[in-house]
């Protein structure tokens, strides 16, 4: 797709055109992954964060938020609960919490690997040194999620304080790739000051980086942040971006995100039909899950993980896809 075609899709409201984009995206996914939708065990390990991103509810300046941090034993127990349900990827996600030193993360990874040697571990704990990334990889982490958020550096500056730069974000992503991780990048749709040209840059950056995974979700306001009164992103634009991402990165693993489900009651199903092929049921203990409020009204799913998983599998099957409980590495 050339720039003109991409910008046209971003701007169009023509439903026939949009439907044909979605069916093309589904065809591309099917060529590589069939109808399989991979399930992951998501564990939100901490809502402490040293960063101050203007859009994010767990930013350090949010003094209204009650903070929590799972202990290594609690994290291991979440993995056990996920394994019992048959999940074979553990995703450890959290704010940039200085308590999780290289040493502590390594110990947690080693503990998980010892008990579950054949499961995949995905980390999503932000920007770290190249040395830390190498250490975590040696201790058994297989994958790393780090959204670039926006690939336009001027736009990046409007969403983050000056202590954070797009250049460093990109450096981290390239370091992760060099280390040997399956890497996930991605961006939000509908953040303040975003233009169609920003979104074009996002897709071009994805093509350049060639990540194994791509996380795309709508911006959602969180009331205790500087962007708390702004409008959320548009689900239709979000779905179009997801579909184009699928077409440009045919073998990527693309989650139907919680943010999608938050903005529309059947948001995840719509994402699957636009080319997504991953769903991440949340196994964080309920008391902590409520505090991992990166945006307002976050879809939480059913309180019982087993019921929740069953319901997700029914949704997947009902939408014409196959729930897949294998590790689901990138092809």
The residues binding ligand 5AD (CB under 6 A) are 55-56, 147, 149, 188, 217, 219-220, 222, 259, 294-295
Question: Which residue number, 186 or 323, has a Cβ lying nearer to ligand 5AD?
Answer: 186
Closest CB 157 distance from ligand 5AD, rounded Å: 16
Closest CB 296 distance from ligand 5AD, rounded Å: 8
Question: Which residue number, 19 or 158, has a Cβ lying nearer to ligand 5AD?
Answer: 158
Question: Which residue number, 28 or 278, has a Cβ lying nearer to ligand 5AD?
Answer: 278
Burial class (CB in 10 A: 0-12, 13-18, 19+), 306: exposed
Q: How many CB atoms lie within 10 A of CB 284?
A: 23
Residue 90 is encoded by which pair of tokens? 């553990």
Question: Which residue number, 82 or 94, has a Cβ lying nearer to ligand 5AD?
Answer: 94
Residues 25/269, Cβ–Cβ less than 8 Å: no
Closest CB 55 distance from ligand 5AD, rounded Å: 4
Question: Which residue number, 172 or 259, has a Cβ lying nearer to ligand 5AD?
Answer: 259
Question: Which residue number, 151 or 188, has a Cβ lying nearer to ligand 5AD?
Answer: 188
Q: Can you tell me the distance from the alpha carbon of 2 to that of 8, in angstroms, rounded to the nearest whole number?
A: 10
The answer for residues whose C-beta is within 8 angstroms of residue 63's C-beta and 6 or more apart is none
Closest CB 182 distance from ligand 5AD, rounded Å: 17
Closest CB 143 distance from ligand 5AD, rounded Å: 15
Closest CB 185 distance from ligand 5AD, rounded Å: 10
Question: Which residue number, 233 or 305, has a Cβ lying nearer to ligand 5AD?
Answer: 233
Closest CB 259 distance from ligand 5AD, rounded Å: 5
């Amino acid at each position: 797709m050339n720039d003109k075609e991409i910008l046209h899709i971003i701007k169009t409201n023509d439903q026939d055109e949009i439907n044909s984009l979605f069916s093309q995206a589904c065809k591309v996914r099917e060529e590589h992954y069939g109808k399989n939708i991979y399930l992951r065990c998501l564990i939100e390990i901490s809502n402490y964060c040293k960063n101050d991103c203007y859009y994010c509810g767990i930013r350090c300046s949010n003094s209204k938020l009650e903070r929590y941090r799972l202990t290594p034993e609690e994290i291991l127990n979440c993995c056990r609960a996920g394994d019992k349900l048959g999940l074979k990827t553990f995703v450890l996600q959290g704010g940039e919490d200085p308590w999780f030193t290289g040493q502590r993360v390594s110990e947690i990874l080693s503990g998980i690997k010892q008990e579950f040697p054949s499961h995949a571990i995905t980390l999503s704990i932000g920007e770290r040194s190249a040395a830390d990334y190498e250490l975590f990889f040696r201790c058994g982490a297989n994958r790393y999620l780090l959204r670039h958020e926006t690939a336009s550096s001027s736009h990046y500056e409007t969403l983050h304080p000056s202590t954070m730069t797009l250049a460093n974000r990109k450096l981290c992503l390239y370091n992760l790739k060099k280390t040997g991780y399956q890497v996930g990048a991605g961006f939000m749709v509908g953040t303040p000051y975003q233009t169609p040209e920003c979104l074009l840059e996002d897709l071009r950056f994805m093509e350049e980086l060639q990540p194994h995974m791509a996380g795309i979700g709508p911006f959602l306001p969180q009331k205790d942040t500087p962007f708390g009164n702004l409008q959320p992103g548009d689900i239709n634009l979000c779905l179009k971006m997801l579909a184009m991402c699928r077409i440009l990165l045919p073998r990527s693993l693309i989650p139907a995100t919680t943010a999608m489900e938050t903005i529309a009651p059947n948001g995840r199903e719509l994402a699957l039909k636009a080319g997504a092929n991953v769903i991440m049921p949340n196994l964080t203990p309920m008391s902590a899950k409520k505090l991992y409020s990166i945006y307002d009204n976050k879809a939480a799913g059913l309180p019982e993980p087993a019921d929740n998983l069953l319901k997700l599998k029914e949704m997947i099957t009902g939408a014409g896809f196959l729930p897949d409980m294998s590790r689901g590495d990138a092809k």
